[in-house]
Chain A
Amino acid sequence: MKISKNWLSHYLTHDLSDNQLNRALTFSGIEVEATQVMPRLPEELISAKVVTASAIEGSDHLKVCQVDANDPAGLLQVVCGAANCRSGMMVVLARIGAVLGDLTIKKAKLRGVESFGMLCSEREIGLSEEHGGIIELPADTPIGVSANELFGLPDTVFELEITPNRSDLLGYIGIARDLSANLGLPLKLPEIKEITEFAKETLPLKLRIDEPELCPRYTARLFSDVVIKASPLWLQVDLIKSGLRPISNVVDITNFVMLEQGHPLHAFDYDKLQKENAGDEGPAVIVRKAKPLESFHALNKKDYQLRDIDLVIADGQNPSALAGVMGSSDSAISSGTTRIVLESAAFNPSSIRRTSYHHKISSDSSYRFERHLSPECTIVTSLRATEMLIKYAQAKVASELMDPYPLVDRVKYLALRPANFERLIGYPMDTQQIKSYLTRLGCKFIKEGAWQKDALEDAAQIPAVTADKPAALWFKVPQNRVDLVREADLIEELARLDGYDKIPMKTPPSRIMDHHANRIQEIVSRHFVSQGFFEVLNYSFNDPASLQDLGMDPEINTQKLINPQSSNQSIMRVSLLPGLLENIRYNLNHYERDLKLFELARIYPEDHETEPLRCTALLTGNKGETHWKYKTNALDFSIVKGIMESLVELLDLQVDKVAEYRAPWLMQANSLAWYVKDEPVLLMGLMDAEVCEKFGIDLGTLDQQLWMIDIDLHRLIELTRNVELTYRDLPRFPAVYRDLSFLVPESEKWLAISEYVKSVEPELISGVQLLDQYRGKQVPQGFRSLHIRFKLQDEEKTLTEERIEQIVASVIEVLTKQCNIQMR
């Protein structure tokens, strides 16, 4: 539903900005789907009169107009291309200098004819998307009136989503009432005057409701002497801003009142309605179900085969309207109409929904009736339309208000326990505030009484407060609020009006736990487990002698116990390695030859403020268990490195470099470190057999290698904190692969070789893969043969064969120069 801020302001006294109004609507539970700002127009836009309009020779649509704009220099010459442009017409003229969005009106020459302005369409002034022709203002519009005044600009149109339970919000007054209750602002309802003048002759009508369950109330009034013409400009503008097209005064008035009151109306041409029986005094309006196979020609020019469950408004013979959905074209208001029947009725919402759904026909009227409108609103709606018909269509009232109301809508009384507000919403609201909010919504406080779950229809039945029953406030509920039927509904209204932002939060969001640290620890330990490692738990102590065996000084950066249980547990551990070496020794002695162990625990160096987490692992023996088909290999550097590389992927770690690393317990030239931001975070290396022997592990005799992995978990956690993964768009152009095979001296290492390859075209070479390494027969001593594949990818285009060849040549050239390779 679209509402114009200016129109809304007729019913609500406020000085809210667009943003404030948007927020107020949102917190009332009315979702603002879109906001359309209609800015103030330049003062160069004014009403003007086309005095003459004549076709330009040689053009099929251009006309040259002489326009009266009260200009002291006389008539202005304006060229216009609109089909509806004609002499005598009142138009909106944009004079030279006007700026409309991107368009600046300048003196122009079209087909050799000079033009001093532009005649505007609705789209050009931002009123609607209508661009079929120029705006025609009512003939009595004075010349020289500013367009802002004519069109009520500036204005803002809000497109609202009304939840299906709130049928009371389907009109401007409903929205205004809710905002008034919410913001405590005064509500101004249109004053409806009593009818004093009647037509000389009253008209006869036979009005009957055959289906009271489907139509509980039908209010009708007859009018004569109606003059069908265009509506006043302000009314047309209001309808346009709310998304409706103006048609003629009578139809526009029914639409206007529907938008204002939220209750649809319909007008029939009295003279097109037939009698039921020849002897009847006047034509009939009968609310009945359709007869089987009765057909209906609707206003939308389509024919419908009705079913016997569809409710129709029929004259004495045929359906004149599909009740609450759409009128027939036969009974519609036309330019010759002089007498009308004004319908203001209430219909059963399910019946309307069924009919609308089945026949795939919906309208502003069915949209509202489907949401259950109260029958109590028909009178006000009818009176409001009556007043406007008298004023803008010269109508004369030709009957009393006919108002059959077979199924009276009962008044409801509901009880509310103030304490229950706190129980459900979470904070208390005092009685005074409760009464004030509900009164603003149109509820009426009756009295205090004992609480009772069910609504009452009679205030006299409200039970008295007794000692054993909780006290409650009893309210009469306004009948247009069909959604208020239980205490919980009232409590919801109170919470909504007071603002959901006032509801206190009980438990602040989690802030103590370090979820990230927890997650990284889990990833690392699960990785080790999935790679075949067993977790061990050792005491938190080091033996000073063990540290010395590793080449560490137990006096430096350690914390010593005063009362250790034994001297080999006298230092808070600074390395997990001695414990793991002991675990390896123990298990080797128990004839377990293939071992993979890790420990994840804190260490306690003295210089560290926290107790940093560390994860150290040892592995020896074969890669996996013996298998009849797939032979298992002894561990070597590539297997250990693979464990590290898969961890790097699991953590999405941004590694800056991988380089050789040295530690006293590791074999030289057999260890590596992964650096993140210059810090060695992941380490791996081959344990020095001499060191191992000091821990009772005789690798030589066992003929096994013992490898170590060491992770500075504390740094790893900090370096990965708040690092988010970002998706990269998929490449739009295919990648190309090229293979090269060459001999390279043993002194040249793979890391350097791959870097040289990439350096040739860093933007295009996105990967270098090692396919094979070979030493042996055809390879000279001191060389190895490498087979590599590199991937070429251009983000911008498909690489040409020529360009690819050029890159391959450059790669060979660089490798020859830097690494002395020989192509094979």
Chain B
Amino acid sequence: MHTQLEELVAKAEENIAACRTPNDILDARAAYLGKKSVLNGLYARLRELAPEERPAFGQLINEARAKIETLIAAQDKEIKNAIRAQQVQQELDLGMPGWMSPFGSLHPVTIVRRKIEAVFMSMGFEVAQGPEIEDEYHNFDALNTPQDHPSRNLADTFYLQNGKLLRTQTSTVQIRVMEKYKPPIKIISPGRCYRNDKPDPSHSPVFQQVEALWVDKGISMSDLKDSLQNFATAMFGVDVKSRIRPHFFPFTEPSAEMDISCVSCAGEGCRVCKQSGWLEMGGAGMVDPAVLEMVGIDPEIYSGFAFGLGIERIAMLKYNIGDMRILFENDVRMLRQFRGESL
């Protein structure tokens, strides 16, 4: 048995030295140290020896085992070092382009619409949807628009042969929501609107708007200013100021126009803001009591504000796009620029 052990160690030494790959090492480890290895088998054969010889021989097996383990570890280290050295030597040109699966982009108007939705949702508003093909009641009557108001003309509004019309603002959704739900109502309604304007740098017959509406007990102009400033800050940064100034809309009382300080000159005056330092954002105001009454909400108990923003206009300001028509050309060279904002 002693000779057998010696021979085994000698053979292992030879074989381990011949290992060339990490796999060879795995094989060697299994062959000499594994459960079914000869060495392991020797432990079982200890009982063939006289009892007094057993501890000494057991010790010898242990030593052989330790020796083989050391040899394998050393050879393993050597092989792996060689592999590493090879990797360092490889002539890589790390300046060459990597491989990627190129992604596309959302349309900038969608990107801005999503940002606006996210800002308002973080303020607790819900996103509501309504039809684009509307009736006169929801688009005009319910919004307190006089019968002879010029906006009802064919020159301003698209009409369909079936008597319906294309909504001229998303305020129609406010009416539909207020008809269906009791306050508190806190919504924004983004979507397409239509006006019979010829396309030019700042007009389009099809455009997108987002309207905000918050009706509850104790809502005041102060809440309107709050929401407007929060929106301006989230959209254009902490340095942007907002203001409202008196105006007229049939469906709000008092009514206001909303401005933000010019994002391109920081209020100094420039071409974008026509030297005024302010940019017009849209109309706003406290919902007219007549509008609330028309949808069955008691204006003595509830009050609310509403405001509307043009999404294309915000996109143009945010990304410095000079002409609204660019947005509808869908040129991939334009779209490609918005990859970074899309996912």
Interface residues of A (CB under 8 A from B): 506-508, 510-514, 517-518, 525-526, 528-541, 559-565, 569, 572, 583, 586-587, 590, 592, 595-597, 601-602, 604, 606, 610-611, 624-625, 627-630
Main secondary structure of the interface of A (DSSP, over half): loop
Expressed in whole angstroms, the Cα–Cα distance for A531 and B100 within the complex equals 11
CB of B158 within 8 A of CB of A535, answer no
Known: A531-B103, A532-B101, A604-B133. A510 touches B126 (CB 8 A): yes
CB of A537 within 8 A of CB of B110, answer yes
Q: Which residue of A lies closest to B216 (CB)?
A: A507
Instruction: Give min CB distance, A276 to chain B, whole Å.
Output: 66
One digit per residue, 1 when the CB lies within 8 angstroms of any chain A CB and 0 when it does not, for chain B 102-139 equals: 11111101100000000000001011110111000000
Q: Which of B15-23, B31-39, B47-55, B331-339 contacts A (4 or more CB under 8 A)?
A: B331-339
Expressed in whole angstroms, the Cα–Cα distance for A537 and B131 within the complex equals 18
Q: Which residue of B lies closest to A559 (CB)?
A: B160
Q: Which of B61-69, B142-150, B258-266, B322-330 contacts A (4 or more CB under 8 A)?
A: B322-330
Across-interface contacts of A541 in B (CB, < 8 A): 206
Across-interface contacts of A508 in B (CB, < 8 A): 184
Across-interface contacts of A604 in B (CB, < 8 A): 132-133
Q: Which of B78-86, B192-200, B271-279, B292-300 contacts A (4 or more CB under 8 A)?
A: B192-200
CB of B104 within 8 A of CB of A531, answer yes
Q: Which residue of B lies closest to A595 (CB)?
A: B332
CB of B159 within 8 A of CB of A562, answer yes
Expressed in whole angstroms, the Cα–Cα distance for A124 and B26 within the complex equals 63
Instruction: Give min CB distance, A481 to chain B, whole Å.
Output: 37
Known: A560-B161, A562-B154, A565-B198. A537 touches B205 (CB 8 A): no
Expressed in whole angstroms, the Cα–Cα distance for A506 and B217 within the complex equals 10
Instruction: Give min CB distance, A633 to chain B, whole Å.
Output: 13
One digit per residue, 1 when the CB lies within 8 angstroms of any chain A CB and 0 when it does not, for chain B 86-97 equals: 000000000011
CB of B99 within 8 A of CB of A540, answer no
* Interface status of B342 (Cβ within 8 A of chain A): yes
Instruction: Give min CB distance, B194 to chain A, whole Å.
Output: 7
Across-interface contacts of A517 in B (CB, < 8 A): 129
* Interface status of B343 (Cβ within 8 A of chain A): yes
Expressed in whole angstroms, the Cα–Cα distance for A606 and B163 within the complex equals 13
Q: Which of A540, A569, A630 contacts B132 (CB 8 A)?
A: A540
CB of A540 within 8 A of CB of B192, answer yes
CB of B154 within 8 A of CB of A537, answer no
Chain B contact-residue range equals: 35 or more
Q: Which of A511, A559, A611, A625 contacts B102 (CB 8 A)?
A: A625
Across-interface contacts of B96 in A (CB, < 8 A): 628
CB of A512 within 8 A of CB of B181, answer yes
Expressed in whole angstroms, the Cα–Cα distance for A709 and B330 within the complex equals 18
Across-interface contacts of A590 in B (CB, < 8 A): 331, 333
Instruction: Give min CB distance, A221 to chain B, whole Å.
Output: 63
Q: Which residue of A lies closest to B186 (CB)?
A: A507
User: Which residues 149-187 in B have Cβ within 8 Å of A in the complex?
Assistant: 154, 158-162, 164, 166, 177, 181, 184-187
Across-interface contacts of A511 in B (CB, < 8 A): 181
Q: Which of B97, B185, B329, B331 contacts A512 (CB 8 A)?
A: B185
CB of A529 within 8 A of CB of B331, answer no
Across-interface contacts of A538 in B (CB, < 8 A): 328, 330
Across-interface contacts of B192 in A (CB, < 8 A): 540, 601-602
CB of B194 within 8 A of CB of A563, answer no
Across-interface contacts of B187 in A (CB, < 8 A): 512-513
Q: Which of A518, A532, A586, A627 contacts B103 (CB 8 A)?
A: A532
Expressed in whole angstroms, the Cα–Cα distance for A610 and B185 within the complex equals 23
CB of B343 within 8 A of CB of A526, answer yes
CB of B333 within 8 A of CB of A611, answer no
Expressed in whole angstroms, the Cα–Cα distance for A418 and B105 within the complex equals 58
Expressed in whole angstroms, the Cα–Cα distance for A513 and B126 within the complex equals 5
CB of A534 within 8 A of CB of B328, answer no
CB of B132 within 8 A of CB of A592, answer no
CB of B103 within 8 A of CB of A530, answer yes
6 nearest A-B pairs in the assembled complex, by CB-CB distance: A513-B126, A536-B330, A534-B335, A535-B107, A533-B104, A534-B104
Across-interface contacts of B185 in A (CB, < 8 A): 512
Across-interface contacts of B343 in A (CB, < 8 A): 526, 529-530
Interface residues of B (CB under 8 A from A): 96-97, 99, 101-107, 109-110, 124, 126-129, 131-133, 154, 158-162, 164, 166, 177, 181, 184-187, 192, 194, 196, 198, 205-206, 327-333, 335-336, 342-343
Known: A532-B101, A537-B110. 16 other contacts (CB 8 A): A512-B126, A525-B106, A529-B103, A529-B343, A530-B103, A533-B104, A535-B110, A540-B206, A561-B166, A564-B158, A569-B205, A572-B160, A597-B330, A602-B132, A624-B102, A629-B99
Known: A511-B181, A525-B106, A562-B154. A535 touches B335 (CB 8 A): yes
Q: Which of B158, B187, B330 has the most CB of A within 10 A?
A: B330
CB of B330 within 8 A of CB of A611, answer no
Across-interface contacts of A602 in B (CB, < 8 A): 132, 192
Q: List 24 A-B contacts (CB under 8 A).
A: A512-B181, A512-B185, A530-B103, A531-B103, A532-B101, A534-B107, A535-B106, A536-B107, A537-B328, A538-B330, A539-B205, A539-B206, A540-B206, A541-B206, A559-B133, A559-B164, A561-B159, A562-B161, A564-B158, A565-B198, A565-B205, A590-B333, A592-B333, A624-B101
Instruction: Give min CB distance, A177 to chain B, whole Å.
Output: 39
Expressed in whole angstroms, the Cα–Cα distance for A698 and B80 within the complex equals 58
Expressed in whole angstroms, the Cα–Cα distance for A536 and B109 within the complex equals 10
Q: Which residue of B lies closest to A560 (CB)?
A: B161
Expressed in whole angstroms, the Cα–Cα distance for A534 and B332 within the complex equals 7
Known: A525-B106, A539-B205. A583 touches B330 (CB 8 A): yes
Expressed in whole angstroms, the Cα–Cα distance for A412 and B104 within the complex equals 71
CB of B97 within 8 A of CB of A627, answer yes
Q: Which residue of B lies closest to A562 (CB)?
A: B159
Across-interface contacts of B128 in A (CB, < 8 A): 512-513
CB of B154 within 8 A of CB of A563, answer yes
Expressed in whole angstroms, the Cα–Cα distance for A559 and B159 within the complex equals 10
Expressed in whole angstroms, the Cα–Cα distance for A628 and B109 within the complex equals 35
Q: Which residue of B lies closest to A511 (CB)?
A: B181
Across-interface contacts of A540 in B (CB, < 8 A): 132, 166, 192, 194, 206
Across-interface contacts of B102 in A (CB, < 8 A): 532, 624-625
Expressed in whole angstroms, the Cα–Cα distance for A565 and B166 within the complex equals 13
CB of A572 within 8 A of CB of B133, answer yes
Q: Which residue of A lies closest to B312 (CB)?
A: A537
Expressed in whole angstroms, the Cα–Cα distance for A507 and B126 within the complex equals 12
CB of A536 within 8 A of CB of B127, answer no
Expressed in whole angstroms, the Cα–Cα distance for A726 and B99 within the complex equals 36
Across-interface contacts of A569 in B (CB, < 8 A): 205
Q: Which of A506, A532, A537 contacts B107 (CB 8 A)?
A: A537
Known: A535-B110, A538-B328, A565-B198. A628 touches B97 (CB 8 A): yes
CB of A534 within 8 A of CB of B126, answer no
Known: A532-B102, A624-B102. A559 touches B336 (CB 8 A): no
Expressed in whole angstroms, the Cα–Cα distance for A38 and B127 within the complex equals 55
Expressed in whole angstroms, the Cα–Cα distance for A528 and B103 within the complex equals 8
Q: Which residue of B lies closest to A602 (CB)?
A: B132
Instruction: Give min CB distance, B305 to chain A, whole Å.
Output: 17
Instruction: Give min CB distance, B304 to chain A, whole Å.
Output: 14
CB of A592 within 8 A of CB of B332, answer yes
Across-interface contacts of B331 in A (CB, < 8 A): 586-587, 590
Q: Which of A510, A512, A535, A563 contacts B105 (CB 8 A)?
A: A535
Instruction: Give min CB distance, B94 to chain A, whole Å.
Output: 13
Across-interface contacts of B162 in A (CB, < 8 A): 559, 606
Expressed in whole angstroms, the Cα–Cα distance for A534 and B338 within the complex equals 9
Across-interface contacts of A572 in B (CB, < 8 A): 133, 160
Expressed in whole angstroms, the Cα–Cα distance for A512 and B181 within the complex equals 8
CB of B333 within 8 A of CB of A535, answer no
Instruction: Give min CB distance, A519 to chain B, whole Å.
Output: 12
Expressed in whole angstroms, the Cα–Cα distance for A109 and B160 within the complex equals 98
CB of A561 within 8 A of CB of B333, answer no
CB of B126 within 8 A of CB of A525, answer no
Expressed in whole angstroms, the Cα–Cα distance for A627 and B198 within the complex equals 44
Across-interface contacts of A512 in B (CB, < 8 A): 126, 128, 177, 181, 185, 187
